[in-house]
């Protein structure tokens, strides 16, 4: 069952605000902060996907050159994604129609499947309640439903409540989750998001007790949108497990044999995969940092790629790089004039 229109609109609202806001602010990639990677479209995190998935999801929506740039962002997340976002910003542009199509046709079915894998009985919920779980997972990662640690205690409690049929307990757990983002944390949007999810769950509970009915009407969502700033997304702990999961899938046959023999467990395999990918990720982010530093030195680091010629010229003329260029030009002219007037010997002491 697809999620409800209300749930879909809630997710879009929290990610990009509205179609108008998207067209004004989010057509270019950005780094939302925390543990995110370079993010495009409606919350599509390139850093949390592998090259094959990015290619599969976007090949019908962008040209090959842009797709190649997007694929180069795979596996880079956290602070190391910040300079990479600056470097690729002028090379990626996702129009609203493409963003919403990937969101509806790719993201939502994928996240619905992730949620029901973690919480099997979620498949029996109605479209509002299932939509709340998809919104939560889309923001924090579906791994949180089974992840250890105090940070994920409410997500585990939500899973247990659904599996045990205690659906009325879910809104309180969603509201309890606000403890992770106190008012002073600068991410108040996440507190508002959890409250909106709790209210939508309560609305869903008024429909057949939160369960899907046999005669449920098809509620495939239409293209409506509205929402909050994407920079309010969660931190590294909530998304890193997605990247580890992608790597684990590649070596599944080997991993299964090792686990069958008792020579490995899932946590150990994930740890090995993470360490194996570290050198490549560091190398990629090093070059991204160097390019971003050079771009900033010449005045283009924080400049909007859609800025006009005069704005770009002003940024360059007031940058440290411009004065360095002038110094080298003057030095070259001095050497040239001395050479011209006095011959090769003019450059000797």
What's the DSSP call for residue 22? I
In the chain, domain spans: 5-235
Do residues 281 and 80 lie in contact, with contact meaning Cβ atoms separated by under 8 Å? yes
d(CA 274, CA 38): 19
Give me the residue label for tokens 């924090």.
140
Tell me the two tokens of residue 229: 């700033």
Q: pLDDT tens-digit profile of 202-244?
A: 999 998 887 876 554 443 333 332 333 333 344 444 444 444 4
- Tell me, what's the pLDDT at 171? 97
* Sequence-separated (6 or more) residues with CB below 8 Å from residue 182: none
- Tell me, what's the pLDDT at 218? 42
User: Which residues are bridge partners to 39 per DSSP?
Assistant: 30, 45
Nearest 5°: the CA angle 213, 219, 222 is: 170
d(CA 99, CA 126): 26
**DSSP string across 236-269:** HHHHHHHHHHHHHHHTHHHHHHHHHTTS--HHHH
User: Which residues are bridge partners to 211 per DSSP?
Assistant: 125
> What is the number of H-type helices and E-type strands within the chain?
16, 2
d(CA 150, CA 265): 23
Closest CA to 190 of 221, 160, 241, 154: 154
Low-confidence ranges of the chain (pLDDT < 50): 216-249, 281, 284-285, 305
Do residues 240 and 258 lie in contact, with contact meaning Cβ atoms separated by under 8 Å? no
d(CA 158, CA 173): 7
Helix (H/G/I), strand (E/B), else coil: 37: strand
d(CA 247, CA 236): 17
d(CA 311, CA 319): 12
- Tell me, what's the pLDDT at 269? 57
d(CA 163, CA 196): 23
- Tell me, what's the pLDDT at 106? 94
- Residues 5-235, CATH architecture: Orthogonal Bundle (1.10)
């Amino acid at each position: 069952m697809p999620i409800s229109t209300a749930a879909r609109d809630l997710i879009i609202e929290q990610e990009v605000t509205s179609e108008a806001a998207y067209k004004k602010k989010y057509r270019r990639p950005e780094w939302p902060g925390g543990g995110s990677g370079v993010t495009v479209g409606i919350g599509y995190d390139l850093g949390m996907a592998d090259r094959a998935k990015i290619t599969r999801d976007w090949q019908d929506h962008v040209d090959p050159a842009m797709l190649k740039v997007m694929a180069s962002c795979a596996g880079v997340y956290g602070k190391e994604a910040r300079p990479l976002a600056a470097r690729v910003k002028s090379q990626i542009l996702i129009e609203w129609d493409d963003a919403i199509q990937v969101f509806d046709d790719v993201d939502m079915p994928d996240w619905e499947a992730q949620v029901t894998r973690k919480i099997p009985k979620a498949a029996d919920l109605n479209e509002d309640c299932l939509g709340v779980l998809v919104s939560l997972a889309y923001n924090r990662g579906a791994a949180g439903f089974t992840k250890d640690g105090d940070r994920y205690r409410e997500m585990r409690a939500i899973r247990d409540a659904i599996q045990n049929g205690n659906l009325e307990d879910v809104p309180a757990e969603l509201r309890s989750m606000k403890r992770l983002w106190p008012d002073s944390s600068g991410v108040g949007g996440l507190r508002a998001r959890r409250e909106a999810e709790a209210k939508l769950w309560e609305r869903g509970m008024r429909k057949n007790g939160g369960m899907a009915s046999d005669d449920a009407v098809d509620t495939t969502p239409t293209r409506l949108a509205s929402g909050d700033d994407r920079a309010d997304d969660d931190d590294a702990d909530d998304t890193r497990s997605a990247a580890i999961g992608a790597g684990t899938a590649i070596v599944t046959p080997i991993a299964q044999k090792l686990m069958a023999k008792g020579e490995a467990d899932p946590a150990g395999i994930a740890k090995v995969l993470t360490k194996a990918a570290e050198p490549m990720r560091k190398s990629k982010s090093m070059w991204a940092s160097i390019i971003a530093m050079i771009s900033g030195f010449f005045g283009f680091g924080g400049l909007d790629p859609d800025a006009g010629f005069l704005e770009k010229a002003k940024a360059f003329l007031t940058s440290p790089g411009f004065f360095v260029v002038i110094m080298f030009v003057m030095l070259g002219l001095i050497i040239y004039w001395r050479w011209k007037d006095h011959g090769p010997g003019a450059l000797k002491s």
